[in-house]
Structure 1
Amino acid sequence: MRKNRFFSVLKLILAAIVLLISNNLLAQQQKSVSNSGNDFWRNVQFGGGIGLSLGTGYTDISLAPSAIYNFNEYVALGLGAQYAYIKQKNYYASHLYGGSIIALFNPIQEIQLSAELEELRVNVNLDGSSNNSQDYWNTGLFLGAGYRTGNVTIGARYNVLNDTNDIYGSAFMPFVRVYF
């Protein structure tokens, strides 16, 4: 059942992306041949996140680089990768890694709407027991909104595929997004 829901949502996202891209492709613009190679990189922005959380017997380290391509001032599409190591002393150690596709829409300069499809491989090893290790894929579809100023967006996102087996503590998550 969850797999069917995932593919239905994926088809919907891909249809929306095709519509957004086709709208940009139909726009007629005159470009010189000499600048066409450089135009691509002028529209690319890099960003991501780095996280470190340390406590008594607890470690959480994460790295999540990403890049987006701005089709125009309203629409951007990008890819991201992520890795996280989480350890609770005498309880478990976990590695999470995977990727994501993100679509950004800016109806006005200060508002950013987003849709992000994330697929993570989760490896959990419980201390003291090799039989209780878990390896599985976790899919998240986050819909978000934020306030944008310059290259920084502050907002919140909601995982519409959240269920009781999800790796996140809550379907609702705040975020800070930065692209240079």
Structure 2
Amino acid sequence: MRKIYFLLLLILPLIASAQVITYDTIRVSPDDERNIYRTQRSQQTVQTQQNSQVRQRQQPVLLDRESTSGFAFDKSKLRYGANIGLSLSRNYTVFGLGPQVGYQFFDNFMAGAGVKYYYTKLRSYDYEVKSNLFGVNTFGYYYPVRFLAFFAQPELNYIWSTLKYGAAGIDDRKESGFVPSLVVGGGLRLGRSHITLNYDLARHSRSPYPTGFFLGISAFF
């Protein structure tokens, strides 16, 4: 029994001197600086944004063909025109037809291409010349201001002609071949029509255009 009392005497002071530790909690706003969770949330938000940026850099960029293209075809910008020539007289006949298609790339620039066919018949007292022409061309109109137009049209024509003499014993003469032309000009723009003073820079001996300057009229719709 003495041993038991002795042990109790030893244990009781230890129990009495023991301190109970408790934690007091204070309710604070989520945005309060004393809120320990505020810093944790801020760090998580920053880490999430960094991870998102890394994923965006790693993902392949898919390009939209329409958005990256510098040209989008628009049917409303198509322009249709034609060169028509007709002249009838006793000694001279000309018939010509030349459809053309243009595209209004910009307000001050239109370009396109076309084909043409011309038939010419010239009769004199001792000979007769019949000539046929088939050609292809490209063209461009530049408008520095609304009412002015500058024009260029390179083209390649194939011409075949026959020269018949009225005198007996003289054989007919036939010629054919390609004839290049480079027509340039400038003048007035009236809506989608043009009246220009033109010149053939190629100056081929068999050019279908007159020597020197000549008047040109074209219209597009």
TM-score for both structures, normalised by structure 1: 0.74
Total equivalences in the alignment: 146
**Runs of 5+ in structure 1 lacking a partner?**
1-28
- For each residue in 1:9-61, what CA deviation from the matched residue of structure 2 results, as whole angstroms up to 9, or x when unmatched? xxxxxxxxxxxxxxxxxxxx969xxxx6xx52111100111111011132111
Which structure's relative contact order is higher, taking Cα pairs within 8 Å and 6+ residues apart? 1
Taking structure 1 as reference, are residues 165 and 82 closer, same or farther at Cα in structure 2, changes over 3 Å only?
Answer: closer
Deviation of 1:167 after TM superposition, in Å, equals: 3.5
Q: Do residues 117 (structure 1) and 158 (structure 2) align?
A: no
Question: Which residue number corresponds to residue 48 of structure 1?
Answer: 82
- For each residue in 1:115-144, what CA deviation from the matched residue of structure 2 results, as whole angstroms up to 9, or x when unmatched? 110111111111256652000111111111
Write the distance in 2 (CA, Å) between the matches of 1:161 and 1:49: 21
- 3-state SS of 1:42 partner: helix
Please point out which of 210, 214, 218 is paired with 1:169: 210
Write the distance in 1 (CA, Å) between the matches of 2:147 and 2:99: 23
134-143 vs 167-176, which deviates more? Answer: 167-176
Aligned sequence identity (%): 23
Question: Which residue number corresponds to residue 117 of structure 2?
Answer: 83
Question: Would you say the 8 A contact 1:68–1:78 is kept in 2?
Answer: yes
Question: Which residue number corresponds to residue 180 of structure 2?
Answer: 139
- 3-state SS of 1:108 partner: coil
**Runs of 5+ in structure 2 lacking a partner?**
1-65
- 3-state SS of 1:168 partner: coil
Write the distance in 1 (CA, Å) between the matches of 2:218 and 2:84: 11
The correspondence of residues 23-102 of structure 1 with structure 2, limited to 5 A, is: 39-89=73-123, 90-102=127-139
For the aligned residue pairs, the C-alpha RMSD in angstroms reads 2.1
Moved over 6 A (4+): none
Taking structure 1 as reference, are residues 167 and 176 closer, same or farther at Cα in structure 2, changes over 3 Å only?
Answer: closer
Write the distance in 2 (CA, Å) between the matches of 1:81 and 1:109: 27
Select the structure of larger CA radius of gyration: 2
- 3-state SS of 2:162 partner: strand
